[in-house]
Structure 1
């Protein structure tokens, strides 16, 4: 029994070690180095910095929507800081560590319960899954592949998210067992207006499209031509593989899955390997911008003469 628990505990690290070993043995590192040497950092930064800032802004906007915070500049500014710092922490760390920090920041800021914020977080993840299924369907259809199953899956997920709260409220009116009633109570008490639901959906779609453009900017900076439809599928596939593997930072599994998907869609093997390694440049960009934005705004807020007045005004 103890041995099985140890395996479950360490299997993400074992999988990461296997993937890294496989990549080290099979990747053509000489050719990869030649391609990476030609990486156009100026071109990447000109595209990558504004795209990353836009992604952070959209993540902030949708968190305001689901967390029930007011749609105003003061709220957006604070959430933008939390989001930037959360991304900086989540990129190199175990899964969802950054999100836990965001939950704590929001609870300290708004006084909302963890039960309320956990429902908001779950809705974010559910919308992510629905949008990823939708983008995968778009990507495959652009390739001329039948994507009816993916499109139906996305539609069912969108419908489930829209009907979740009314359904749970109906169920709580029934004579349910105590444990089930206590479990559903926080969900039933959670409120999400149609306007906020629409904001959650649209901002999530826009966020993942910008992520695909950010990945495409890496490929273009490596002078690797990959159709945007393929990039959409790669983003979906790699995101799901990294999330399911629970590997910190997706190390190893991200490179292997990226290479496999690019080769599957006809990319040259060496270019696919270089592209998989090159995507790692996004991590220091995310971490650097997250820390710079977070620390800069926090320092500005700390020394702002109107800080106490704002705190009294907004509570």
Structure 2
């Protein structure tokens, strides 16, 4: 029994995530409103964006783990990153990251050269989220696009430079107690090419997310400019993360609705936009879980090969 569970744990995890999505999602409130929404257009936008985000996630993982850019590496990495990101939508804390690391270890792929390199993805996401939120807030307060752009770039570049700054801090601290404690987290810095690739892919990921949100809002007659969209993406994502609720289910709708009303959108359109955006959760979950058969298919030849050995 234990061996069976260990072998099929990804499938069991997928079933548990589907149950969580069904249990946590307020289907009774949302299903009656679906006929009022342009479902076909919404699903198309969400599906394309989800796949693009998964591709960026896989390429970022390759860059941060310094894996070779070969098709026989990109394929399995994309599958397990897509699966991990899909389940992370409805699971608490960083379960998706743990699953991603587990698949990498099972595939015999090396990890990053230090803890800070492995955490660089999350650091860049946090700094980019903060940059978008602050840039949008600056625009709402001042109306100056150039000032918002400068704010966005300054905070985002700070996130990109964090691993190198940590290394400089460890070198400056030298043999002091705090410096010795930080040494395991610094390690060798990422090569410049990998770091720039990571930054570019992070920009594409969040740019695609922003574009999809603006398009989804447009489809339900809520028209925002880019900086209003930046504020909405940054602020609502920060609220969702701080809530510690898996996938921000329930929290995201309330925050989106409140933020839209705060920037002048009427109650009805704000409610409709929040419900439309909430559909992203089941779409990302289902597309992520759809990669599970490919993972299982790749696992069987490896198991049979090991048994012959």
Bucket of the pairwise TM-score, normalised by the shorter protein: 0.7 to 0.9
Match in the other structure for 1:127: 124
Q: How many residue pairs are counted as aligned between the two chains?
A: 276
Structure 2 CA distance for aligned equivalents of residues 103 and 158 of structure 1: 22
Match in the other structure for 1:184: 182
CA deviations over 1:229-261 (Å, ceiling 9, x no partner)? 322211111111111121122122212211111
Cα RMSD after superposing both structures: 3.3
Find 1:274's aligned residue among 272, 275, 281. 272
Match in the other structure for 2:203: 205
TM-score by length of 1: 0.75
More deviation in 50-59 or 218-227?
218-227
- Is 1:58–2:56 an aligned residue pair? yes
Q: How does 1:13-52 map to 2 (within 5 A)?
A: 36-52=34-50
CA deviations over 1:255-278 (Å, ceiling 9, x no partner)? 221111111111111111121122
More deviation in 51-60 or 226-235?
226-235
CA deviations over 1:18-47 (Å, ceiling 9, x no partner)? xx9xx9xxxxx7xx8886432112112222
More deviation in 140-149 or 219-228?
140-149
Taking structure 1 as reference, are residues 121 and 193 closer, same or farther at Cα in structure 2, changes over 3 Å only?
same
CA deviations over 1:103-126 (Å, ceiling 9, x no partner)? 22223334646983x423422122
Taking structure 1 as reference, are residues 241 and 153 closer, same or farther at Cα in structure 2, changes over 3 Å only?
farther
Please tell me whether the aligned partners of residues 139 and 232 of structure 1 are also in contact (alpha carbons under 8 angstroms): yes
Structure 1 CA distance for aligned equivalents of residues 93 and 51 of structure 2: 22
Residue 228 of structure 1 deviates from its aligned partner by: 3.6
Structure 2 CA distance for aligned equivalents of residues 193 and 44 of structure 1: 39
Please tell me whether the aligned partners of residues 168 and 188 of structure 1 are also in contact (alpha carbons under 8 angstroms): no
Find 1:101's aligned residue among 72, 80, 99. 99
Unaligned runs of 5+ in 2: 1-23
Structure 1 CA distance for aligned equivalents of residues 202 and 222 of structure 2: 27
Match in the other structure for 1:136: 133
Match in the other structure for 2:158: 157
Please tell me whether the aligned partners of residues 115 and 186 of structure 1 are also in contact (alpha carbons under 8 angstroms): no
Match in the other structure for 2:15: none
More deviation in 183-192 or 196-205?
183-192
Please tell me whether the aligned partners of residues 64 and 112 of structure 2 are also in contact (alpha carbons under 8 angstroms): no
TM-score by length of 2: 0.76
